[in-house]
Structure 1
Amino acid sequence: MKTTLILSTALSGLAFAATAQEVNVVSWGGAYETSQVEAYNKPFTAETGIRVNMIAADNPATPLKAQVEAGNVTGDVFDVEVSDAIRLCDEGALMEIDPAMLPAAPDGTPAVDDFVPGALQDCAVANIVWGTVISYNTTKFEGEMPQTAADFFDTETFPGKRGLPRNPKRTLYLALIADGVPAAEIYDVLGTDEGVDRAFAKLDTIKNDVVWWEAGAQPVQLLADGEVSMTTVYNGRVFDAMVAENQPFEIIWDGQYMDMDMFVIPKDAPNLDAAVEYLKFATDTQRLADQARYIAYGPARQSSASLVGLYQDGVTEMAPHMPTSPEALENAVMDDPEFWADRDAEMVERFNAWLASS
C-alpha cells in the first residue's frame, strides 16, 4: 500500500511539473523584488522546475482589480497590502485559502498558530511585516539631528523639503503623531471628524514644503538627489540604500506605520496549481527567514525569527534593523485594515480635495 501511495504521489508530482511550467508573480519591484527572487523564486524553480516571472507594479492591487474587471487575469500571485486583500476578497475576486494547506513550522506547530496576528486572512497569507518610517539625509543638517515625528514638521529647526506619499493612509497618522497623539490612540482620533480636521491642520503647516511621491523607489531617490532633506519611506528600501549603497541616511523610528504584505491568488489565475504551490513554498518558515537576508522586513511567521541572521554582506546583523525591533516598536502605529476598508474612499476624496486647494 505504501509503495502504491509513494508511486502515485511521485506520478502526480511529475504530472504537475509537466503541465504547469510557469507562475506569474506581481510585486513591488526594487530591492523588495530582489529579496523575493533570491529567497523564494530561485529555490522554488530549483525544486519544482517551474519558472517564476516577476512583474513590477507601483501597487499590485491596481492591476489585479483591473484584470479581474476586464475578465482577463494574467497574474497568478499578487503581493498586496492587507486592506486591499480584505477588500478584493469581499468583492469575490480572490481564491479562499485554507490555513491547513500551509506548511507547519519546523517543530510541527500548525501554520494557523505560527503566523503573527492578522497574517492569515480568508483569501491571503502574509509574508512580511514592514514599516513606513522617516529618513533624513545627514549631510543636510549641522549639529543637532532630527529624532522624532515632530521634527519632521519642524522646518524652522530642520530646514528643507519633505517627502510624503500622495495618499491619506500614510500621511494622516504621521500628522497626528507629530501633533502629540499617542500611537495607540491614532485610530480612535482619526475615527472622528475632529481628528481628521486636526490631521489636515497639521499637514497644512508643511504643505508648501512637500514633494509628493507615489512609487516606493522615489523617496530614496529624492533623498539621494537632495530634493528633500527628510522623507517618509519604506524601511526596507532605505535600509538597502544605507547599507548596500552607503548613502548618508538615518532612520527615525518614532511614529513608524507598520503593515503587512500578503500573497493573494485571483480566482481566474491562469496557472492556478502552480500559484498554490508557490504560495505554500514562499510562506514556509525557512523562506521567510531567508528573505530577511536581503531586506530589512520582518518575517510574518514566529518560527522564522530565530533564523534571521546576517545581511547578504555577511557582516550586518539584521535583527536591529527590523521594524519589529524593540526600538522600532516604541511608538509604532499598526495598520487597521478594517478601518481603511470602511473609510478609504471618503479619506481619499477629502485628501484629494485638500491637495487641490490653495
Structure 2
Amino acid sequence: MNATRRRLAVLTASVLIISGAATFAHAADVVIAGPGGLAQEAQRKALFEPAAKALGWTFEEDTSQSWTEARAQVDAGAVSWDIISLSMGEVQLAVDAGVIIKLPPDIVDRKDFVPGSVNDYCVGNGVYSTVVAFSTKKYGNDGPKSMEDFWDVKKFPGKRGLFRSPRGNLEAAVLALGHTPSEVYDFLSTEEGKKAAFEKIAELKPHAIWWDSGAQATQLVKDGEVDMIYGWNGRLQAAIDDGAPFKINFKDGLLESDCYAVVNGGPHTDNAIKFIKEISKPEYIKDLPKYIPYGGANLKAYAQYDEKTLSRLTSSPENAKQQYPANVDFWGKNGTTLSEAFDNMLLSK
C-alpha cells in the first residue's frame, strides 16, 4: 500500500471507528482491539475467555492493524477501545502521539518476562519471529540455510514471498549483504547502509510476491504459489500443520513481541489495567501454543512445555539462540521515513 493509499485507509478507518464508538463503549467490562486472525483467536481462547471468567467479567473484541486507528479515536475524543495490541516497535510512536497511557510499575514482574517485552506503557503478550520457510517439494531438505541463500535466485530459483513493509525486509537484506546480526542496526543507521539495503531488496522484485496480511502469507504457502517465504512463524506453521510441504528455518530469524497497552481515554481504564495484569499470568500464557505456535512473553509458562511444543516455538531456548532481536528504538525513530522509501522502491522500475 503506497503512502497516499495508506493515509486514505486510515482516514476511512477513522470514520468507521468514531461512528462505532457508542457500540462498544458500555457494552462490556472491557473492550480489546487485537491483531485479528489466528493470533486473536488464540488469545481469545487461551487468555481472554478464562481471564474474564475468573474476574466475572464480559468483554468485547475489535481488530486493529495499526496504532493510528486508536489515534483517530483519541484525536476525535470518541474512544471505544480500552486495550490495544501493538508491536513493540509501535509503542514509542503511540506514546509520542498521546494514544496510550503509562502503566502502574507493578502491573507485572518484569524479570519473569522475555527481555524487552515489557516497558512503562506495554506488557508483552506473544513472541514471534519473521523466518524463512521453504518448499520441501521443490528443494527437499536442502533449502536456503541463510539470508544469502534466500537472495540467491540462481542456486535457489523460484518465487519468494515477502511482506509489503520495510520492517524485517531491511534487516534481512543487510544479512544477505554478508553482515552479521550484531551489525544490522549499526549498518542501517547510516544513509549508505539504508541505500544498500533498499537496493538489495529491489533485486528480488522480479522474483517476489508481496503479501499484506498473515492470512495471505498462510494461503500463499498452502496453495504453493511461493517456493520460499520470509514471514511470521505462526502463520507459516499453520500452513505446515494443514499439510503444506514446507519447512521452517529459524536461523537468522528476527525476534519480536507484541504487547498490550491501555488506550488513553478509554471507557474502562481501571478494568483495562486489571485485565492486562490478569491475562499476563503464566496459567493463561501456557495455553497459547495449543492454538498457535507462538510462545508467550511470560517465561514462567515455559517450564510446562514438552520438547515437541518447544521445537515449534520461536521463543524456545534452542530456536531463540539462532535468531536476533528487533531494535524497536530504530523503528520508532525511522519507521515513517523508511515506509515511504519502501513504497517508492516498489513503485520504481
Give the TM-score normalised by structure 1: 0.84
Q: What does 1:283-302 correspond to in 2, within 5 Å? A: 283-302=280-299
Residue 256 of structure 1 aligns with which residue? Answer: 253
Q: Do structure 1's residue 80 and structure 2's residue 77 form an aligned pair? A: no
Cα distance between partner residues in 2 of 1:323 and 1:187: 21
Q: Do structure 1's residue 340 and structure 2's residue 331 form an aligned pair? A: yes
Q: Do structure 1's residue 38 and structure 2's residue 45 form an aligned pair? A: yes
Cα distance between partner residues in 1 of 2:347 and 2:27: 49
Q: Do structure 1's residue 305 and structure 2's residue 302 form an aligned pair? A: yes
Cα distance between partner residues in 2 of 1:40 and 1:306: 18
Cα distance between partner residues in 2 of 1:139 and 1:327: 26
2:218 and 2:238 in contact (8 A); partners too: no
Quote the offset at 1:126 in angstroms: 0.8
Match of 1:355 among 342, 346, 349: 346
Residue 204 of structure 1 aligns with which residue? Answer: 202
Query: Over aligned residue pairs, what C-alpha RMSD do you find?
Result: 2.0
Q: Do structure 1's residue 276 and structure 2's residue 273 form an aligned pair? A: yes
Quote the offset at 1:193 in angstroms: 1.5
Report the number of matched residues. Answer: 324
Deviations 1:89-112 (A, max 9, x none): 23222121113133xxxxxxxx13
Residue 69 of structure 2 aligns with which residue? Answer: 63
Give the TM-score normalised by structure 2: 0.87
Cα distance between partner residues in 2 of 1:90 and 1:96: 12
2:71 and 2:97 in contact (8 A); partners too: no
Cα distance between partner residues in 1 of 2:274 and 2:144: 46
Cα distance between partner residues in 1 of 2:341 and 2:88: 22
Residue 8 of structure 1 aligns with which residue? Answer: none
2:128 and 2:256 in contact (8 A); partners too: yes
1:20 and 1:271 in contact (8 A); partners too: no
Residue 95 of structure 2 aligns with which residue? Answer: 89
1:20 and 1:50 in contact (8 A); partners too: no
Q: What does 1:20-35 correspond to in 2, within 5 Å? A: 21-35=28-42
The ranges of structure 1 where at least 4 consecutive aligned residues each deviate by more than 4 angstroms after the TM superposition are: none
In structure 2, the CA distance between the partners of 1:248 and 1:54, relative to structure 1 (3 Å rule), is farther
* Secondary structure, aligned partner of 1:129: strand
Deviations 1:238-262 (A, max 9, x none): 222222x222121121221111101
Q: What does 1:140-289 correspond to in 2, within 5 Å? A: 140-141=138-139, 144-243=142-241, 245-289=242-286
Match of 1:48 among 45, 49, 55: 55
The residue identity in structure 2 corresponding to 1:151 is D
Quote the offset at 1:274 in angstroms: 2.6
Deviations 1:103-150 (A, max 9, x none): xxxxxxxx1322222222121111122101111222233573332222
In structure 1, list runs of 5 or more residues that go unmatched.
1-18, 103-110, 310-315
1:286 and 1:304 in contact (8 A); partners too: yes
The residue identity in structure 1 corresponding to 2:315 is T
1:186 and 1:333 in contact (8 A); partners too: no
In structure 2, list runs of 5 or more residues that go unmatched.
1-25
Residue 124 of structure 1 aligns with which residue? Answer: 122
* Secondary structure, aligned partner of 2:162: strand
In structure 2, the CA distance between the partners of 1:143 and 1:185, relative to structure 1 (3 Å rule), is closer
The residue identity in structure 1 corresponding to 2:31 is N
Residue 105 of structure 2 aligns with which residue? Answer: 99
Cα distance between partner residues in 2 of 1:41 and 1:142: 40
1:293 and 1:308 in contact (8 A); partners too: no
2:103 and 2:120 in contact (8 A); partners too: yes
Cα distance between partner residues in 2 of 1:354 and 1:332: 27
**Identical counterparts, % of pairs:** 31
1:219 and 1:233 in contact (8 A); partners too: yes
In structure 2, the CA distance between the partners of 1:43 and 1:145, relative to structure 1 (3 Å rule), is same
* Secondary structure, aligned partner of 1:260: strand
The residue identity in structure 2 corresponding to 1:97 is L
1:127 and 1:299 in contact (8 A); partners too: yes
In structure 2, the CA distance between the partners of 1:307 and 1:212, relative to structure 1 (3 Å rule), is same
2:135 and 2:143 in contact (8 A); partners too: no
